[in-house]
């Protein structure tokens, strides 16, 4: 019988589930981190076919993407004929080395409409806060702001982590509180405390771990990419309490490493 080649994560030791943010929270975090996605509109020239465009965006307070687009662009002409569209945003860098399928991504589905004139001031400030270079063309007569009104959301967190998220749940959720400092935490831990990460992995049950890289961190815990002999795999480790700032993260990680060392 042929061996199975199912799309799944490699086997890992049986461990109790580790708390994680909801898919809605993770989706909001990814949308806040991102700057550019792929906007797919309904082709006016070839009805029934999706038309993909590289699209900078800025999320509003409900995580709805806002676009600054020209009336001459093909995607804008498509939206004028049919407002239905989707936006795909992928995690930059990724958690899984060079495999993009192991990285997080999110697809937002909805209708894209011009932003009402009464709201353009606030939307302009929001968008230019993320895309400063757009000041060079924001006032051109053919450019205007558009916003996606969400109908549904699909989030993929990597191998084996995926699901639909109701648009209302997505809108009510918030990005992770560590979203703006996560890169600094990852860089510091991987550069200066790699041995401590291996120790934490072993204490958490990954007894064969020989090398560890922190690939993601959030208010409830962090992900590690581990090497055990020739095997590369992932593990998640929970924080003993919720972490909401870089200072909190530093304090909790020091406590965890100290406790791991004292328990040896």
Write the pLDDT tens digit of every residue in 148-178: 999 999 999 876 789 999 999 999 999 999 9
- Please state which of the ranges 17-31, 93-107, 178-192, 201-215 shows the lowest mean pLDDT: 93-107
- 100, 64, 105: which is closest to 85 by C-alpha? 64
pLDDT, tens digit, for every residue of 109-123?
999 999 999 999 999
Confidence (pLDDT) at 241: 96
| Domain range annotation of the chain | 23-172, 182-262
Q: Is the pLDDT of residue 4 over 70?
A: no
CA distances from 223 to 55, 62, 237 (A): 30, 27, 6
Fold of 23-172: Pnp Oxidase; Chain A (2.30.110)
Confidence (pLDDT) at 102: 67
Confidence (pLDDT) at 99: 63
pLDDT, tens digit, for every residue of 218-251?
999 999 999 999 999 889 999 999 999 999 999 9
pLDDT, tens digit, for every residue of 243-257?
999 999 999 999 999
pTM confidence score:
0.85
Which stretches of 165-217 are DSSP H helices?
167-172, 182-192, 194-203
Q: What is the CATH number of domain 182-262?
A: 3.20.180.10
The answer to whether 24 touches 32, Cβ cutoff 8 Å, is: no
Q: Count Cβ atoms within 10 A of the Cβ of residue 31 and give its class: 0-12 exposed, 13-18 middle, 19 or more buried.
A: buried
CA gap 165, 179 in Å, rounded: 20
Q: Is the pLDDT of residue 15 over 70?
A: no
Q: Is the pLDDT of residue 7 over 70?
A: no
Phi/psi-derived region of residue 31, left when phi > 0, alpha when psi is between -120 and 50, beta in every other case: alpha
């Amino acid at each position: 019988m042929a061996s199975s080649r199912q799309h799944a994560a490699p086997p890992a030791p049986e461990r109790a589930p580790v708390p994680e943010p909801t898919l809605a929270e993770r989706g909001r975090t990814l949308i806040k981190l991102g700057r550019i996605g792929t906007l797919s509109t309904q082709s006016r020239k070839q009805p029934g076919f999706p038309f993909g465009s590289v699209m900078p965006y800025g999320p509003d307070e409900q995580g709805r993407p806002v676009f600054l687009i020209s009336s001459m662009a093909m995607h804008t002409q498509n939206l004028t004929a049919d407002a239905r569209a989707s936006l795909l945003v992928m995690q930059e860098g990724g958690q899984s080395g060079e495999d993009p399928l192991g990285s997080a991504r999110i697809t937002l589905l909805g209708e894209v409409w011009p932003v009402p004139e009464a709201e353009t001031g606030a939307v302009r400030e929001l968008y230019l806060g993320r895309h400063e270079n757009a000041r060079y063309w924001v006032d051109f007569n053919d450019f205007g702001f558009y916003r996606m009104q969400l109908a549904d959301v699909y989030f993929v967190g990597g191998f084996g982590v995926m699901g639909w998220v109701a648009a209302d749940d997505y809108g009510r959720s918030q990005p992770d509180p560590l979203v703006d400092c996560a890169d600094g935490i990852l860089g510091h831990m991987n550069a200066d405390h790699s041995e401590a990460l291996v120790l934490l992995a072993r204490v958490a049950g990954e007894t064969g771990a020989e090398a560890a890289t922190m690939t993601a961190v959030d208010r409830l815990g962090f992900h590690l990419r581990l090497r055990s002999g020739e095997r590369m795999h992932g593990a998640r480790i929970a924080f003993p309490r919720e972490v909401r700032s870089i200072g909190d993260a530093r304090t909790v990680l020091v406590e965890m490493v100290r406790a791991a060392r004292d328990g040896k």
